Each structure stands twice: as structure tokens, then as C-alpha cells.
């Protein structure tokens, strides 16, 4: 494919295999955890803690990657850690081991993300960032279609055999690690790199010296992040309206299929009309979805809204990373993306807790409508925002 380099293909295949592994377990994770004695509250604590570890560690390891001038070792070790964590979760059923293995999986994501996205950025020009990130996101999300589909078929023939799925999921996970062996380090230099002390929160220091355009962009994205609560709430709304478990999982697969199919076209369009207009379109689509969720009543409504939700995801996830990488020097790209990821993980935690509180005290309609209105406000903020590209 024109302008999609060998390295981008390799990184995309790695993400495809990894997402098959991870998403194979997504539909059955709550069922499995309940079967070994986890309460709903404990499941929530587990997921919140694991995602916080992933988000906060992205910035730390992104900064280490920039300081060492290396990307590939971080990518390889991160994928290996995630691959070996899944069979551990199926083999050891004690709560402490479950927490450790789930944290290992998310820590692997934190180790690899900043370096991987920096590699993707290095493989693109400012004019092809949307296409490159969109293609990678498309392949990544395709795994979120294949994985749950395999899980549904497997459980149809072997009901409640959750443990076996954890071991099977190690196969695509380890395949991703093996494919990562094809990656080659670029732009190596023998010049000494100036080092500074780095700890788990030191990447916040990057904010002080970051370009003003980067700060303005991230501020808008973080405000949006405060209302972009877990997808669980969307599925809970469908459940509350009477959809069965198989219908809900089917809608989840459908959403990921739309997400995968439209990520590359969204990236190509973004390169032609601009990254910012594409992001704004995605935010307006999010507002439409959340506003619609407040009034959806049957299955056809939810399928339509999840179709739009896939369009929203395709128009924002890779596009926002492409925008960030355009606003910062290549030498700082992992730190820039990692810093945003760390801050966004905090926003995501607040969003889910805040969404849950609004749902509990005021009802789901209030939660969805308030998120929709904030998203519209952020869209207008970006329309008025002037973004200047970085000069390397």
C-alpha cells in the first residue's frame, strides 16, 4: 500500500495479534472473575487500578525511550509482558495473582505505547500522519472483531470453559512478540544523550517546556476526556433497555468492525482536509451518539448509535495522536504522547466515576446528555483553536 512502510505493516500486525489476544478475553472477563469469586465492586477496582497503571506508565516509559534514543526494546518487552500475563491469569485464581497478572498486562501496554507511536510517527510525514495512524488503528481494531468472535464461537461449543481461553489467548499474544523481532531501530547515534532523573511522575515536567499549541490541544482533549466515560456505560444502557447478553456482545463486535473499517479512510480524509477538522467531526459525532443514547429504546436504535460510535472512534483515536506528533519535535514524540496518555488516564478515571455518580443520582439520561453538551462545547473550542506544526 502506497506510503505504508514495512515498519508500519509490522507494527500494525503486532497490534492486530495483540488485540486478538486481549479482546478474546474481553467479553468473558467479568463472567470469569465472577466465577472465581470476584464481586462487581472488586472487578471495578481491578479494572480501574490496571488502567491507571497503564496510563501513568505510558509517560514514564515514553520519556525513557526519548532519553535512550531507542524505541524497539520498549516495544518488544511491552508486548512480551502482556503476552505472558494472560495464561497466568487463567492458571492462578487467587485475587492477588489476578491483580498482579492484570497489572502486568496493562504495564506492558504502558511500556510499549509511547515508543510504538513514536515509531509510527517517524514513518510518516506531516502530510501522511492521518493515513499511517489510521491504518495502524484499523489493524489494531480488526483484532477487536476477531478476538470476541472467536470467544463466542469457542464458548458455544465449550460453554463456561473460560480457563482454556486464557491459554489460547497466549498464542496470538506470543505471535505478536515474535513479529516484533522484525523491527529495526532507526536513526541510531553514537553521540551521548543528556540524561536527567526520571521517575514515574517526572514526565509531567515535560508540560513546562512543551509547545503552546501542544498544551492547548491537550487541554481540549482532557476536558473531553472528563466526560468520555467507559464504554461499559453504553453497554449497560443497552442492557437496561432489554437487550440480551449475546445481542450486547454482538453490538460490541459490530462497533469494533465499523471502527476497523473506517479508521484508514478517516486517516486518508484527514490528510486531505486536515487533522483538526476530522477531530472536530468525530467530537460532534460523539455528541450525537451520547445524545441519542439518552432516548434509544430498541435494538435498531442501538445498532445505529454504535455504528456512529465506530465512526467517532475512527475519527479521533489515531487522529489525536497524529496531531500531537505534528506539534512536537521527533526527539520528544514519545514523551509528548506518553504525557497526554498519562493525563488522559486520570481524566478517564474521573469520567467513569463521575458518570457513575450522575447515573446513580440523576439517571442515565442526565449522564449521556451532559456528556453530549460538553463534547459540543469542546468541538467549538477546537474550531476556534489555531494549531501550529512543530519545526524539527
Question: Mean of the pLDDT values across residues 356-373?
Answer: 89
Q: What is the pLDDT of residues 34-54, one digit of tens each?
A: 777 776 567 666 766 777 777
Burial (Cβ within 10 Å: 0-12, 13-18, ≥19) of residue 60: buried
Of 33 and 118, the one with more pLDDT? 118
User: How many other C-beta atoms can be found within 10 angstroms of the C-beta atom of residue 249?
Assistant: 19
User: How many other C-beta atoms can be found within 10 angstroms of the C-beta atom of residue 154?
Assistant: 17
Query: What pLDDT shows up at residue 1?
Result: 52
| Chosen CATH of 6-184+201-384 out of 1.20.1250.20, 3.20.20.30, 1.10.1060.10, 1.10.260.40 | 1.20.1250.20
**Cα atoms in the Cβ-side hemisphere of radius 13 Å centred on 320:** 27
Which of 6-10, 102-106, 353-357 shows the highest mean pLDDT? 6-10
N- to C-terminal Cα distance for the chain?
A: 27
Query: What pLDDT shows up at residue 195?
Result: 54
Query: What pLDDT shows up at residue 190?
Result: 43
Query: What pLDDT shows up at residue 200?
Result: 56
Choose among 260, 271, 281: nearest CA to 136.
Answer: 260
Q: What is the pLDDT of residues 332-344, one digit of tens each?
A: 777 787 788 778 8
Amino acid at each position: 500500500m502506497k506510503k505504508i512502510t514495512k515498519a508500519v505493516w509490522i507494527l500494525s500486525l503486532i497490534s492486530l495479534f495483540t488485540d486478538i489476544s486481549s479482546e478474546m478475553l474481553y467479553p468473558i472477563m467479568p463472567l470469569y472473575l465472577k466465577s472465581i469469586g470476584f464481586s462487581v465492586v472488586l472487578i471495578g477496582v481491578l479494572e480501574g487500578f490496571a488502567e491507571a497503571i497503564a496510563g501513568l506508565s505510558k509517560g514514564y516509559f515514553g520519556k525513557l525511550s526519548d532519553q535512550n534514543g531507542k524505541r524497539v526494546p520498549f516495544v518488544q518487552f511491552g508486548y512480551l509482558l502482556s503476552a505472558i500475563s494472560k495464561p497466568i491469569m487463567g492458571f492462578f485464581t487467587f485475587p492477588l495473582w489476578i491483580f498482579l497478572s492484570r497489572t502486568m498486562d496493562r504495564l506492558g501496554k504502558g511500556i510499549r505505547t509511547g515508543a510504538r507511536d513514536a515509531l509510527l510517527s517517524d514513518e510518516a510525514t506531516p502530510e501522511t500522519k492521518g493515513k499511517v495512524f489510521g491504518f495502524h488503528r484499523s489493524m489494531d481494531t480488526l483484532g477487536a472483531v476477531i478476538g470476541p468472535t472467536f470467544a463466542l464461537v469457542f464458548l458455544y461449543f465449550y460453554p463456561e470453559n473460560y480457563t482454556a481461553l486464557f491459554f489460547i489467548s497466549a498464542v496470538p499474544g506470543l505471535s505478536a512478540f515474535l513479529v516484533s523481532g522484525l523491527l529495526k531501530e532507526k536513526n541510531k547515534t553514537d553521540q551521548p544523550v543528556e540524561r536527567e532523573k526520571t521517575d514515574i511522575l517526572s514526565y509531567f515536567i515535560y508540560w513546562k517546556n512543551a509547545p503552546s499549541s501542544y498544551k492547548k490541544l491537550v487541554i481540549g482533549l482532557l476536558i473531553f476526556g472528563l466526560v468520555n466515560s467507559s464504554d461499559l456505560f453504553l453497554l449497560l444502557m443497552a442492557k437496561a433497555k432489554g437487550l440480551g447478553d449475546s445481542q450486547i456482545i454482538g453490538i460490541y463486535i459490530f462497533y469494533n468492525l465499523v471502527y476497523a473499517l473506517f479508521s484508514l479512510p478517516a486517516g486518508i480524509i484527514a490528510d486531505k482536509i486536515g487533522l483538526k477538522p476530522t477531530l472536530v467531526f468525530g467530537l460532534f459525532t460523539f455528541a450525537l451518539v451520547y445524545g441519542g443514547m439518552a432516548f434509544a429504546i430498541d435494538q435498531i436504535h442501538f445498532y445505529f448509535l454504535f455504528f456512529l460510535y465506530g465512526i467517532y472512534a475512527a475519527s479521533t483515536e489515531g487522529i489525536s495522536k497524529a496531531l500531537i506528533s505534528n506539534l512536537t519535535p521527533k526527539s520528544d514524540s514519545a514523551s509528548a504522547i506518553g504525557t497526554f496518555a498519562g493525563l488522559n488516564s486520570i481524566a478517564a478515571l474521573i469520567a467513569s466515576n463521575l458518570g457513575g455518580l450522575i447515573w446513580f443520582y440523576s439517571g442515565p439520561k442526565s449522564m449521556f446528555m451532559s456528556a453530549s453538551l460538553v463534547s459540543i462545547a469542546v468541538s467549538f473550542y477546537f474550531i476556534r483553536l489555531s494549531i501550529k506544526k512543530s519545526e524539527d
